Structure 1
Amino acid sequence: MRHKFLHFICFTLLIAGITACSPSSKSTVEKRYTFNDILDIAYTPDTLHRCYGWFTDAGSWMGFTLPEKDKWVNGFCGPFSLDMFRRQWIAQSATVVSFAKDAQAGFVPDSTCYYPGELYMSAHSENGNITQRFNFVSASTALLRIEADKAEELVLTGSQWGKDMTVTVEQNSVIARHPSGETVIVTFTPDVQLAKSDNNYTAHLHATKYPVNVAISFFASEKEMTAGLQNLSTLLNDPEKALQANAERWEGYLTKILRTDMKPEYDRIAVKAVTTLIANWRAHRGGLLHEGIVPSHAVGYFVGFWAWDTWRFSAGTAKFDPELAKNNIRAMFDYQQPDGMIIDCIYTDPSENNARDSKPPLVCWAVDEIFTHTGDTTFVAEMYPQLLSYYKWWYEKRDHNRNGMCEYGSTDGTLEAAAWESGMDNAIRFDDAVMLKNEGYEDAWSMDQESVDLNAYLAMECKLLKKFAGLLNVPFDGPDYSDKVADYFFDKNINFFCDRRLKDNSFIEEPGCEAYTPLWTEIATQEQVDKMLPMLQDTAKFSTYIPFPTIAADNPKYNPRGYWRGPIWLDQTYFAIRGLRNYGYNKLADEYTLQVFDRLSGLKEGAPIHENYGTHTGERLKAPHFSWSSSHLLMMYDDYGKETKR
Structure 2
Amino acid sequence: MRSPNPRWSLILCFGACVLSSSPFDWPDVLGGAWLFDQGSTFGFQPTAGGIRGPAPDWALGGTIPVVRYAVFVEGSQVALAAVSYPGSIVLIGNVTHGGVLLTVSAQLTFKSVNTSVVRIAARNHGPQAVIVSFRVTIENINVTELTDNAVFFSLQESQLSCFRGPAFGEGGLFLSTSYLENNGPKNFTWSRTRISADSLVFTSSNVSAPPLGLISAFVSVEATLRNSSQAGTAIDLNAAAEDAFRRWTGYLESVLVHCDKQDMKWAAVKAVMTLMNNWRSVPGLPDGVLPSYNGYESGFWSWDTYKQAVGMVSFAPQLAKDQLRLLVSARDKQTGHIPDKVDRCGNAGGCNGKPPLLAWAVWEIFQATHDTMFLQEMYIIVKQFHEFWYSARDVRGAGLCSWTQGMESGMDDGVRFMPRYASSVSNASSHVTTLDFWSIDLNSYLYKDKLILFAMAAVLGLAREAQDWKAAAELLLPKLRETLFDERAGFFSDMYFNGSALPVQGCEGYAALFAGVASLPQARRMADTLQDPKKFLLNFSLPSVSKDNPFYNPHGYWKGPTWIDQTWFAYSGLRSYALESKRRGDMESEAVFSRLALELKTRLFSRGRGFSYQDPTPFNEHYDPETGDPEGAEHFSWTAAHTLMWVLEANAPEDWQVWT
TM-score by length of 1: 0.85
Q: Equivalent residue for 2:417?
A: 430
1:292 aligns with 2:288: yes
- Amino acid of the structure 2 residue aligned with 1:437: S
- Amino acid of the structure 2 residue aligned with 1:370: I
1:152 to 115, 121, 132: 132
Q: Secondary structure at the match of 1:538?
A: coil
Q: Secondary structure at the match of 1:556?
A: coil
1:521 aligns with 2:524: no
Q: Secondary structure at the match of 1:25?
A: coil
For residues 25 and 189 of structure 2, what CA distance do their matches in structure 1 show? Answer: 35
Is residue 544–residue 558 contact of structure 2 (8 Å, CA) maintained in 1? yes
Q: Equivalent residue for 1:412?
A: none
Q: Secondary structure at the match of 1:424?
A: coil
The offset of 1:97, in angstroms, is 3.2
For residues 580 and 507 of structure 1, what CA distance do their matches in structure 2 show? Answer: 23
- Amino acid of the structure 1 residue aligned with 2:57: L
2:322 to 327, 335, 351: 327
The structure-2 alpha-carbon separation of the partners of 1:20 and 1:516, relative to structure 1 and needing over 3 Å to count, comes to farther
- How many residues are treated as equivalent by the alignment? 589
For residues 235 and 420 of structure 1, what CA distance do their matches in structure 2 show? Answer: 52
The offset of 1:359, in angstroms, is 0.3
After TM superposition, the structure 1 stretch with the greater mean CA deviation from structure 2, 373-382 or 277-286, is 277-286
- Amino acid of the structure 2 residue aligned with 1:168: E
For residues 26 and 90 of structure 1, what CA distance do their matches in structure 2 show? Answer: 37
1:412-427 alignment runs, 5 A limit: 418-427=405-414
For residues 261 and 94 of structure 1, what CA distance do their matches in structure 2 show? Answer: 37
The structure-2 alpha-carbon separation of the partners of 1:355 and 1:619, relative to structure 1 and needing over 3 Å to count, comes to closer
For residues 440 and 215 of structure 1, what CA distance do their matches in structure 2 show? Answer: 63
2:66 to 76, 81, 93: 93
For residues 240 and 202 of structure 1, what CA distance do their matches in structure 2 show? Answer: 23
Is residue 558–residue 565 contact of structure 1 (8 Å, CA) maintained in 2? yes
Q: Equivalent residue for 1:117?
A: 87
Q: Equivalent residue for 1:48?
A: none
- Amino acid of the structure 2 residue aligned with 1:611: E
Is residue 169–residue 195 contact of structure 1 (8 Å, CA) maintained in 2? no
Is residue 169–residue 196 contact of structure 1 (8 Å, CA) maintained in 2? no
For residues 147 and 565 of structure 1, what CA distance do their matches in structure 2 show? Answer: 53
1:141 aligns with 2:115: yes
For residues 402 and 21 of structure 1, what CA distance do their matches in structure 2 show? Answer: 68
For residues 377 and 267 of structure 2, what CA distance do their matches in structure 1 show? Answer: 34
1:599-614 alignment runs, 5 A limit: 599-604=607-612, 605-614=615-624
Q: Secondary structure at the match of 1:612?
A: strand
Q: Secondary structure at the match of 2:634?
A: coil
The structure-2 alpha-carbon separation of the partners of 1:235 and 1:583, relative to structure 1 and needing over 3 Å to count, comes to farther
- Amino acid of the structure 1 residue aligned with 2:407: W
The offset of 1:492, in angstroms, is 1.1
The structure-2 alpha-carbon separation of the partners of 1:570 and 1:292, relative to structure 1 and needing over 3 Å to count, comes to same
For residues 11 and 266 of structure 2, what CA distance do their matches in structure 1 show? Answer: 18
1:365 aligns with 2:360: yes
For residues 493 and 510 of structure 2, what CA distance do their matches in structure 1 show? Answer: 10
For residues 529 and 403 of structure 1, what CA distance do their matches in structure 2 show? Answer: 25
- Amino acid of the structure 1 residue aligned with 2:627: T
RMSD: 2.9
The structure-2 alpha-carbon separation of the partners of 1:530 and 1:178, relative to structure 1 and needing over 3 Å to count, comes to closer
1:245 aligns with 2:243: yes
1:277 to 275, 278, 284: 275
- Amino acid of the structure 2 residue aligned with 1:248: R
Q: Equivalent residue for 1:193?
A: 190
For residues 300 and 50 of structure 2, what CA distance do their matches in structure 1 show? Answer: 32
Q: Secondary structure at the match of 1:541?
A: coil
The offset of 1:152, in angstroms, is 2.8
After TM superposition, the structure 1 stretch with the greater mean CA deviation from structure 2, 21-30 or 607-616, is 21-30
The offset of 1:426, in angstroms, is 0.7
Is residue 157–residue 203 contact of structure 1 (8 Å, CA) maintained in 2? yes
Q: Equivalent residue for 1:4?
A: none
Is residue 98–residue 156 contact of structure 1 (8 Å, CA) maintained in 2? no
Q: Equivalent residue for 1:492?
A: 487
The offset of 1:214, in angstroms, is 0.7
The offset of 1:207, in angstroms, is 4.8
Q: Secondary structure at the match of 2:362?
A: helix
Give unpaired runs (5+ residues) of structure 1.
Answer: 1-9, 42-52, 410-417
Is residue 96–residue 159 contact of structure 1 (8 Å, CA) maintained in 2? no
The offset of 1:275, in angstroms, is 0.9
Q: Secondary structure at the match of 1:482?
A: helix
The offset of 1:171, in angstroms, is 5.8
Deviations 1:538-563 (A, max 9, x none): 11111111121101122221101000
- Amino acid of the structure 2 residue aligned with 1:572: Q
Q: Equivalent residue for 2:584?
A: none
The offset of 1:637, in angstroms, is 1.5
The offset of 1:487, in angstroms, is 2.8
2:105 to 131, 136, 145: 131
- Amino acid of the structure 2 residue aligned with 1:448: D
Is residue 394–residue 402 contact of structure 2 (8 Å, CA) maintained in 1? yes
For residues 27 and 245 of structure 1, what CA distance do their matches in structure 2 show? Answer: 12
1:463 aligns with 2:451: yes
Deviations 1:197-251 (A, max 9, x none): 33444322225252111111211xx5xx22xx65x55464422432232222212
TM-score by length of 2: 0.83
Deviations 1:376-428 (A, max 9, x none): 0101111111111111111000110111110111xxxxxxxx21110001111
Which of the two has greater strand per residue? 2
For residues 387 and 372 of structure 1, what CA distance do their matches in structure 2 show? Answer: 16
The structure-2 alpha-carbon separation of the partners of 1:207 and 1:623, relative to structure 1 and needing over 3 Å to count, comes to farther
Q: Equivalent residue for 1:547?
A: 541
The structure-2 alpha-carbon separation of the partners of 1:19 and 1:358, relative to structure 1 and needing over 3 Å to count, comes to same
Q: Secondary structure at the match of 2:27?
A: coil
Q: Equivalent residue for 2:526?
A: 532
The offset of 1:186, in angstroms, is 0.7
Q: Equivalent residue for 1:341?
A: 337
The offset of 1:587, in angstroms, is 3.4
For residues 112 and 200 of structure 1, what CA distance do their matches in structure 2 show? Answer: 21
1:211 aligns with 2:199: no
Is residue 551–residue 566 contact of structure 1 (8 Å, CA) maintained in 2? yes
Q: Equivalent residue for 2:606?
A: 598
Q: Equivalent residue for 1:576?
A: 570
Q: Equivalent residue for 1:82?
A: 57
